């Protein structure tokens, strides 16, 4: 994608999206991500990388967005770990995790997550926090296993069919999504043919460049991970599943969640780019309608509009931390 539509890039085209953010006052060292947390075998010969910090209950499970590893939660997990046991993991094919069976649909991801929680001996009920595509995963998990979920925090979640809804308002969005998918396919094809070096991959936007907040060693390690065929294949499959298999699987499992606490964090700056000026008001209204529909899955659901870009946990991590703290407080009555 050539135009600066960072929101769409993060949602649907994370092979092309950068993990870099502006430097700020946070001084957390990220070099702990140079090594896996704990590699948990969820099936014969197949392991997922799990990083748990802190202690106490309920356990918080962090589910990253499309093609993002557990590193996505680097500014959120340490703060939550001071309150309760908090775990993030790399989905199959990403980060330090082994690849999984294709396609990487919502059903497949939830199957992996359920197996991971059992194999890691992590007791529920859980507070599930899902960013973007991760919002599909944690909703499907809650639909399947409501007794195992203490609450949901959806971080600017992807809603099935939202690209079509937005494209109906602004046709350029549909054109950009299709262009991005073509570019993503070109990247995957070049890697399969052995015709893509790391330098070419960065130049063509197939993988993210260096993050100025990371050490050179961490940036080098991330580049090696992103150049793995398994990463490209997993990311491509996650893209293709958003509005196809995922939509059908979630629709089949959908149920009202009763009084389950549910908070939707909606990014207010998704349509700040000048290219959206003509349709900005209508696009924002549609976003709030879609996110309101997710909040309505619970009698206690709410939407919080956050002054942030799509990846809220990087742009405004304190807002995510606050929402999860509120959820923990609701799950600990009398404390």
Find the domain containing 224 and state its range. Answer: 6-331
Per-position b or e across 62-80, b if 16+ CB within 10 A of its CB? bbbbbbbbbbbbbbbbbbb
How many folded domains does the chain comprise? 1
**Span between the terminal Cα atoms of the chain, in Å:** 49
pLDDT at 204: 87
Whether 335 shows a pLDDT value over 70: the answer reads: no
Tens digit of each residue's pLDDT (9 = 90 or more) over 119-148: 999 999 999 999 999 999 999 999 999 999
Q: How confident is the model at residue 17 (pLDDT cuts 50, 70, 90)?
A: very low
Q: Is residue 30 part of a domain?
A: yes
Q: State the CATH number of the domain containing residue 258.
A: 3.40.50.1820
Residue 124 lies in a domain: yes
Percent of the chain exceeding pLDDT 70 equals 91
Report the percent of the chain where pLDDT is more than 90: 87
Q: What are phi and psi of 49, to 5 degrees?
A: -85, 125
Counting every residue written for the chain, the total comes to 335
Q: What is the pLDDT of residues 260-316, one digit of tens each?
A: 999 999 999 999 999 999 999 999 999 999 999 999 999 999 999 999 999 999 999
Average pLDDT (217-231) is 95
| pLDDT for the residue 334 | 60
1 located within any domain: no
Q: Would 226 be classed as within a structural domain?
A: yes
Give domain status of residue 192, yes or no: yes
């Amino acid at each position: 994608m050539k135009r600066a539509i960072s929101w769409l890039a993060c949602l649907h085209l994370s092979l092309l999206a950068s993990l870099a953010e502006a430097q700020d006052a946070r001084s957390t060292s990220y070099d702990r991500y140079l090594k896996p947390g704990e590699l948990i075998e969820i099936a014969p010969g197949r392991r997922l990388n799990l990083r748990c910090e802190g202690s106490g209950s309920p356990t918080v499970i962090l589910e990253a967005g499309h093609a993002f590893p557990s590193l996505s939660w680097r500014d959120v997990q340490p703060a939550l770990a001071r309150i309760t046991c908090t775990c993030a993991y790399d989905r199959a094919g990403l980060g330090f995790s082994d690849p999984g069976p294709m396609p990487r649909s919502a059903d497949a991801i939830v199957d992996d997550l359920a197996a991971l929680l059992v194999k890691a001996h992590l007791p529920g009920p859980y507070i599930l926090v899902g960013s973007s595509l991760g919002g599909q995963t944690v909703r499907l998990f809650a639909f399947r296993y409501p007794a195992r979920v203490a609450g949901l925090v959806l971080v600017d979640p992807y809603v099935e069919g939202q690209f079509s809804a937005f494209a109906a308002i602004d046709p350029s969005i549909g054109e950009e999504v299709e262009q991005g998918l073509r570019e993503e396919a070109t990247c995957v094809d070049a890697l399969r043919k052995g015709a893509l070096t790391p330098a070419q991959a960065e130049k063509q936007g197939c993988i993210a460049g260096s993050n100025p907040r990371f050490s050179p060693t961490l940036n080098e390690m991330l580049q090696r991970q992103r150049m793995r065929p398994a990463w490209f294949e997993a990311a491509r499959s996650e893209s293709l599943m958003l509005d196809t298999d995922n939509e059908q699987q979630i629709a089949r499992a959908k149920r009202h969640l009763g009084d389950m606490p549910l908070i939707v964090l909606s990014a207010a700056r998704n349509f700040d780019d000048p290219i959206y000026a003509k349709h900005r008001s209508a696009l924002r209204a549609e976003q709030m309608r879609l996110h309101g529909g997710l909040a309505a899955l619970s009698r206690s659901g709410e939407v919080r509009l956050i002054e942030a870009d799509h990846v809220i946990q990087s742009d405004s991590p304190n807002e995510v931390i606050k929402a999860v703290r509120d959820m923990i407080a609701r799950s600990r009555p009398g404390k």
